[in-house]
Amino acid sequence: MDNTLFVGLSRQMVLRREMDIIANNIANADTSGFKVESLMTKTEPKAPATTFGAPPPVKFVTSDGVARDFSQGALRRTDAPFDVAIEGEGFFRVNGPEGERYTRDGRFRMDEGGRLVTDNGSAVADDGGGEIVIDPEQGAVSISQDGVVSQNNQRIGKIGVFGFDNLSTLEKTGDNQYRNTSNQLAAPVTTAKLRQGMLEGSNVRPILEITRMIEVSRAYESMARLMESNSELSKSAVQRMGRIQ
């Protein structure tokens, strides 16, 4: 296998990874708080597979991580009493079986013990890191713009909103949640406003993602044709050399 096929194969592997990311974006276009992702790439110099006077090094294409756009998604009204959207920067902090996580997904509910939890059962943390417990017999729950949770005009907790100076330290862990992978401490965000009875939509733009999918598909097919053409050229060269001998 010569340099062209090696480089072409590396490019196809990156395109397949990019297609997976685009497909995941489209699949989560209606997921609350989902943030659109894109693949970052780089060139990686390697020794040439064959020489034939080719100038070293040959540069292969490889993935260089996933970029995530944390810009605000559109807010939509649900009128559900435990749905909460963040308007501005920051994340909800939740405590699950695997520890502390962060999310923009405000689809909350009350579990059997009265705790305010996420859709998957993780406890929503208050501004001090503790749990928020609701008494079903005390009436409707009110959540103010600064996160204070009240029943019968009595404060029972405050939903914490936390932010990071460097968002690249957040690693996706599933269930629309992120894990802090550094020693950076989450700081309280005071500028964000919470909207009860609303959810933040995904910031995915489906038309743009479909366009990207078409572009990636065409690039993959173009690379396949190039590799096939190069393979046929090499095969033809070998056959001609055989006839000359």
Identity of the amino acid at 50? T
Residue 159 φ then ψ, to 5° = -70, 125
Q: DSSP state, 138?
A: G
DSSP state of 194: E
Cα–Cα distance for residue pair 123/227, rounded to 1 Å: 53
Look at residue 79 and give its three-state secondary structure: coil
Residue-wise pLDDT for 159-180, tens only, equals 999 999 999 899 999 889 999 9
User: pLDDT band for position 229 (50/70/90)?
Assistant: confident
Which of 76-80, 143-147, 201-205, 233-237 has the lowest average pLDDT?
233-237
Paired residues of 172 in beta bridges: 178
Q: What is the pLDDT of residues 82-118, one digit of tens each?
A: 999 999 999 999 998 888 999 999 999 999 999 999 9
Tell me the domain boundaries of the chain. 3-70+204-244, 75-200
pLDDT at 131 over 60: yes
pLDDT by residue (tens digit) across 10-64?
788 889 999 999 999 999 999 999 999 999 877 666 655 554 555 566 666 777 7
Residue 88 confidence (pLDDT) = 95
